[in-house]
Amino acid sequence: MSTQLTPAQLRHAIRTGEHTTNTSGLCQGFVQCNVAILPKAWADEFLQFCQLNQKPCPVVAMAAQPGDTNLVEIAPDFDIRTDVPKYRIWKHGELVDEVADISNVWRDDLVTFLLGCSFSFEEALIADGLEVRNISEGKNVPMYDTNIACREAGRFHGNTVVSMRPFKPADAIRMIQICSRFPSVHGAPIHFGDPAAIGIKDINKPEYGDAVTIKDGEVPVFTACGVTPQAAIMAAKPEFCITHSPGHMVVTDIPNSKLAIL
Amino acid sequence: MSTQLTPAQLRHAIRTGEHTTNTSGLCQGFVQCNVAILPKAWADEFLQFCQLNQKPCPVVAMAAQPGDTNLVEIAPDFDIRTDVPKYRIWKHGELVDEVADISNVWRDDLVTFLLGCSFSFEEALIADGLEVRNISEGKNVPMYDTNIACREAGRFHGNTVVSMRPFKPADAIRMIQICSRFPSVHGAPIHFGDPAAIGIKDINKPEYGDAVTIKDGEVPVFTACGVTPQAAIMAAKPEFCITHSPGHMVVTDIPNSKLAIL
């Protein structure tokens, strides 16, 4: 699959089953989103959870009404039932299926949330000349459970999950400046340095993703991560919900630069 | 001396000899500046040095012409010969006098530079709820020589001097955001963490100012410091120059918020 496809072309290829793999590195310059689809009976509390925990759970877009399958603000032709390469279907917190199309399980009470993802700020970091270690090492970013509690909203609760990227201090300062411009993709990091200070047991054993090299003179920099809302959903165990499969994101028509507040 | 004086009132009190001490904590909300006054034969190279090293040497204002004693952009009534509480007069890099008025040594070839000072960003940090340790401990900020070379300009050269303020990592991230808004008062820090990485030998023995407490879980955060241009001037040994005495600053009519770029 060429990386030169427009978002509309890629979504069409996904919809027709021509593209079935992850979206990492595709349609560079355009926002990609995490997906959470919840029944209306759970959606209000989930939105409140996101509102109370905006750094890990930045809502880029949500369906105007339960049952809506389009979200015009992210793309005029978008259809949430067909435009994600791979979906995960969950019942009572258990993964029950992984599918390429959710048209046959769609319900009129389902509310779609699209959440910001780190691809947007990683692109800005690389454009500024910073090395993003998980990318240069061809790995998934390492992610860790922390002891930083999210604010509860109804049945949704849990601790913040963070991703980690190592930088030299001067580069970390620049990274903080750049990421501060992107509040809707997790914004500035929430911690750097001592992993134990936020309850991380072993920096070399991430709970999600892959460990990356931390070189001499570098400090680990920790950013709130989109796995946080997924973990909160799994813990809340709604009778039914749908997420994207990791790395298989919604590709929007929104340029990454549109997420920059300055 | 009341802290409630306007900058114009304080400058008048300084001019008339009523106020002779340092300006720390006075006229809160208004920009205070470091002073460097150099003969024209040295001024062009000094300006280039500042241009090449903007983080330690941010020029807030400079005289339009050699010999000018007013700088209308900082205050309509300003007179550099009388409006600083205490001046230091240097010859060939040696301190030769400390005076309250430089009218009798003024020369038509002297060029006045006003450089940004950390008071402006410290006020913004405190307003945001951060603890600035040198202020809470009633000390001068600790300052250190580093191994970070400035870019040379003619006869001016030297290493960057940094000030240090300790913060917990989350507060350091916020401090970086706030200071980034104030490029004309040294901007974002240039290093945090390991002092040895920038050539600091002993964090408890600053070359200038006082040591401050670094608490458990805090990291030292290092900001380029206005002592850098002073040290470069001392090393260049111009036959004649004038600076302010430490802490005895120019108090301007410029609100600190005007220095914020966003």
Mean pLDDT of B155-163: 97
State both tokens at B78: 């300003």
pLDDT at B262: 83
- Stated pTM of the model: 0.90
State both tokens at A14: 């996904």
Q: Chain B partners of A262 at a C-beta cutoff of 8 Å?
A: 262
The shortest C-alpha distance from A170 to chain B (Å) reads: 5
> What is the C-alpha to C-alpha distance for residues B234 and B158, in angstroms, rounded to an integer?
10
pLDDT at A3: 52
DSSP output for A96-136:
EEEES--GGG--TTEEEEEEE-THHHHHHHHHTT---HHHH
Option in B169, B191, B219 nearest A170 (CB):
B191
Rounded to the nearest integer, the mean pLDDT of chain B is: 95
Q: What's the number of CA atoms in the CB half-sphere (13 Å) around residue A60?
A: 34
Residues of B with CB under 8 A from a CB of A: 169-170, 172-173, 176-177, 180, 188-194, 197, 217, 219, 262
> What is the C-alpha to C-alpha distance for residues B51 and B39, in angstroms, rounded to an integer?
18
Q: H helices of B144-226, where?
A: 169-180
At residue B237, φ and ψ (nearest 5 deg) are: 55, 55
Q: Are the Cβ atoms of B177 and A177 closer than 8 angstroms?
A: yes
Residue A258 CB: number of other CB atoms within 10 A? 12
Residue B214 CB: number of other CB atoms within 10 A? 17
Q: Chain A partners of B197 at a C-beta cutoff of 8 Å?
A: 169, 217
Residues A85/A106, Cβ–Cβ less than 8 Å: no
Residue B255 CB: number of other CB atoms within 10 A? 13
Partners of residue A149 on adjacent β-strands: A159
B181 pLDDT more than 50: yes
Measured CA to CA in angstroms, residue B214 lies from A229, B133, B173, B204 at distances of 36, 9, 17, 9
B171 pLDDT more than 90: yes
Strands of B25-72 (E only): list them. Answer: 30-39, 59-62
Residues A254/A74, Cβ–Cβ less than 8 Å: yes
B107 pLDDT more than 90: yes
Q: Are the Cβ atoms of B169 and A217 closer than 8 angstroms?
A: no
Mean pLDDT of B127-151: 95
Q: Are the Cβ atoms of A173 and B188 closer than 8 angstroms?
A: yes
pLDDT in tens, B194-245: 999 999 999 999 999 999 999 999 999 999 999 999 999 999 999 999 999 9
Residues contacting residue A9 through CB under 8 Å, at least 6 positions apart = none
Identity at B243, one-letter amino acid code: T
Residues of chain A short of pLDDT 70, as ranges, are: 1-3
Option in A180, A192, A262 nearest B169 (CB):
A192
Q: Are the Cβ atoms of B189 and A176 closer than 8 angstroms?
A: no
Option in B169, B191, B193 nearest A191 (CB):
B169
Residue with tokens 């165990």: A237
Angle made by CA atoms A95, A228, A226, in degrees to the nearest 5? 95
Mean pLDDT of B11-28: 94
pLDDT at A1: 46
> What is the C-alpha to C-alpha distance for residues A261 and A109, in angstroms, rounded to an integer?
33
B239 burial (CB, 10 Å; 0-12 / 13-18 / 19+) is: exposed
pLDDT in tens, B233-243: 999 999 999 99
Write out the H or E segment, with its range, that includes residue A227. Answer: helix A227-236
> What is the C-alpha to C-alpha distance for residues A124 and A96, in angstroms, rounded to an integer?
36
ipTM value for the complex: 0.85
Option in B188, B190, B193 nearest A219 (CB):
B193
pLDDT at B24: 87
B3 pLDDT more than 60: no
